[in-house]
Amino acid sequence: MEIRNYQSGDEAAVVDLWRRCELLRNPLNDPHKDIAFCLAGGHGEILILEDEGEVVATAMLGQDGHRGWIYYVAVEPGRQGQDLGRRIVTAAQDRLQAAGVPKVHLMVRGSNTHVVGFYQRLGYMVEPITSMSRRLDGAALPVGHQMDDEKVVVTYLEMTERGSLPHVTPKTRNYVLMQAHDITVRFYRYLYDAVGQPWYWTDRKKLSDAALSAIIHDDAVDVYVLYVGGVPAGFYELDARKMPTVDLAFFGIMPEYIGLGLGPYLLSQALETMWQKEPERVLVNTCTLDHPKALPLYQRFGFRPYDRQEIPAPWQTADNVLDFA
Ligand SMILES: CC(C)(COP(=O)(O)OP(=O)(O)OC[C@H]1O[C@@H](n2cnc3c(N)ncnc32)[C@H](O)[C@@H]1OP(=O)(O)O)[C@@H](O)C(=O)NCCC(=O)NCCS
């Protein structure tokens, strides 16, 4: 086994390893361009750990004149846990140290936090740093039904009289809807994250337990949970704190249960419970990060848009609680 510098013939094997190690999930990070750019600048290197002609681990390293950086640390999935990660990272550190670099940094994506323990084992510390970025190449990533550098468009919808609801029968039979009385903050956070994670829901994540508890335990706020086969599959939250208006504050099905017709069923139940409160106006809003069927679904059930507003995307604000590499 030897550690050596990257050679042009390694490209296919290296990119394949990065892909299998799930390091290429951001489609804007073109690994071929990254390799070429790293090697062209004169400040970067790619180290290869080779075993019997196979690339088994990689690390990209570089320095910007102030700090050293390590990227693309990857170990062949079948060879992980055999000290190869330590060897390649140590080799990268040694190179930086030899070049006089006093400190090395690296970034771990929020969705990959389980590797933090690996780096800690190697003596790295979690720094109290907020990592910020801005693209200089004008490239943008489609997110929801917009691009990541665009503002989110929120559509506000209302219903001022109870219409007749479409008849809805889910494709699954084994479901039950229950109101969650005195829901625990922990269970609420689980529901919110399980439903909202694909749609970048963040509002409630920013709240402390006490602030969240004050809302969800308010007598005018009701949370209903949909179970399929005894397992939570979705929820909705009614907010009647501003009667005679009732707001469908949160509504959604968990990704595993989308496609079973549970969305229309849950919305019909939500409307039923909202109108039981005898409001004059029922509200909901949806945005360009939500499921594309949300807006047509609300309209099919009788909601009418009354306002549209542009707001920053969660990753465009300082209190970002999302992983958006
Ligand atoms: C992260 C990765 C490079 C680690 O490489 P590895 O070869 O599996 O790790 P090693 O065997 O060298 O482990 C070194 C030490 O870290 C520990 N360790 C490894 N992974 C760990 C983890 N996820 N959490 C806590 N400790 C971990 C090992 O137990 C070992 O500890 P020891 O000192 O007690 O022996 C590898 O799992 C990988 O390629 N993952 C996919 C790509 C990736 O996420 N890269 C990081 C991008 S930031």
CATH number of the domain that 100 lies in?
3.40.630.30
Q: Which H helix or E strand runs over 138?
A: none
Distance between Cα 80 and ligand 1 center (Å): 7
Residue nearest atom 19 in ligand 1 by C-alpha distance: 118
How far apart are alpha carbons 93 and 81 in whole angstroms?
20
- Give tens-digit pLDDT for 111-159: 788 899 999 999 999 998 878 888 898 888 888 888 888 999 999 999 9
Comparing 40-49, 96-105, 166-175, 242-251, the range with the smallest average pLDDT is 166-175
Q: Write the DSSP assignment of 33-62 as a string of letters.
A: HHHHHHHHSSSEEEEEEEETTEEEEEEEEE
Distance between Cα 85 and ligand 1 center (Å): 6
Residue 324 inside a domain? The answer is: no
pLDDT at 169 over 90: no
Distance between Cα 73 and ligand 1 center (Å): 10
Distance between Cα 91 and ligand 1 center (Å): 15
Distance between Cα 55 and ligand 1 center (Å): 17
Q: From the DSSP assignment, how many helices (H) and strands (E) are in the chain?
A: 8, 14
Distance between Cα 20 and ligand 1 center (Å): 15
Of 69, 92, 121, which marks where a domain is finished?
Answer: 121
Please answer whether residues 147 and 324 qualify as being in contact, where contact means their C-beta atoms are separated by less than 8 angstroms. Answer: no
pLDDT at 323 over 50: no
Residue 269 inside a domain? The answer is: yes
Instruction: Judge if the upstream peptide bond of residue 279 is cis by omega within 30 degrees of 0.
Output: no
pLDDT-derived band at 324, boundaries 50, 70, 90? very low
- What pLDDT is attached to residue 318? 67
Residue 171 inside a domain? The answer is: yes
- Does 20 share its domain with 113? yes
Which ligand 1 atom sits closest to the C-alpha of 108?
48
| Alpha-helical regions (H) of 11-158 | 11-20, 31-40, 84-98, 116-121
Residue 158 inside a domain? The answer is: yes
Pocket test residue of 121, 126, 131 for ligand 1, highest count of atoms within 8 A of CB: 121
Coarse DSSP helix, strand, coil percentages of the chain, rounded to the nearest 5 percent: 35, 30, 40
Residue 81 inside a domain? The answer is: yes
Compute the radius of gyration of the chain from its Cα atoms: 25
Residue nearest atom 17 in ligand 1 by C-alpha distance: 118
How far apart are alpha carbons 36 and 40 in whole angstroms?
6
Task: Find tokens 């550190």 and name the residue.
Answer: 93
- Does 117 share its domain with 248? no
User: Is the torsion defined by CA of 19, 21, 25, 28 positive or negative?
Assistant: negative
- Does 106 share its domain with 212? no
Please answer whether residues 220 and 243 qualify as being in contact, where contact means their C-beta atoms are separated by less than 8 angstroms. Answer: yes
Residues 6+ apart with CB under 8 A from 312: 151, 152
How far apart are alpha carbons 234 and 252 in whole angstroms?
6
Where residue 115 falls (left for φ over 0; alpha for ψ -120 to 50; beta otherwise) is alpha
Pocket around ligand 1 at a 6 A CB cut-off: 21, 23, 73-75, 80-86, 108, 112, 114-115, 117-118, 121
State the total domains in the chain. 2
- Does 156 share its domain with 272? yes
- Does 8 share its domain with 94? yes
pLDDT-derived band at 161, boundaries 50, 70, 90? very high
Distance between Cα 5 and ligand 1 center (Å): 22
Structural domain span for residue 103 = 2-121
- Does 103 share its domain with 228? no
Residue 235 inside a domain? The answer is: yes
- What pLDDT is attached to residue 34? 95
Of 121, 153, 168, which marks where a domain is finished?
Answer: 121
Residue nearest atom 32 in ligand 1 by C-alpha distance: 121
- Give tens-digit pLDDT for 187-200: 999 999 999 988 98
pTM: 0.68
- What pLDDT is attached to residue 147? 86
- Does 104 share its domain with 152? no
pLDDT-derived band at 110, boundaries 50, 70, 90? confident
How far apart are alpha carbons 101 and 96 in whole angstroms?
5
Residue 90 inside a domain? The answer is: yes
Residue 259 inside a domain? The answer is: yes
- Does 292 share its domain with 169? yes
- What pLDDT is attached to residue 138? 84
Distance between Cα 324 and ligand 1 center (Å): 22
Residue nearest atom 41 in ligand 1 by C-alpha distance: 21
- Does 105 share its domain with 200? no
Where residue 265 falls (left for φ over 0; alpha for ψ -120 to 50; beta otherwise) is alpha
Of 57, 88, 121, which marks where a domain is finished?
Answer: 121
Task: Find tokens 């943008």 and name the residue.
Answer: 140
Angle between helices 31-40 and 11-20 (to 10 degrees): 130
- Does 105 share its domain with 56? yes
- Does 168 share its domain with 305? yes
- Does 275 share its domain with 306? yes
Pocket test residue of 84, 115, 120 for ligand 1, highest count of atoms within 8 A of CB: 115
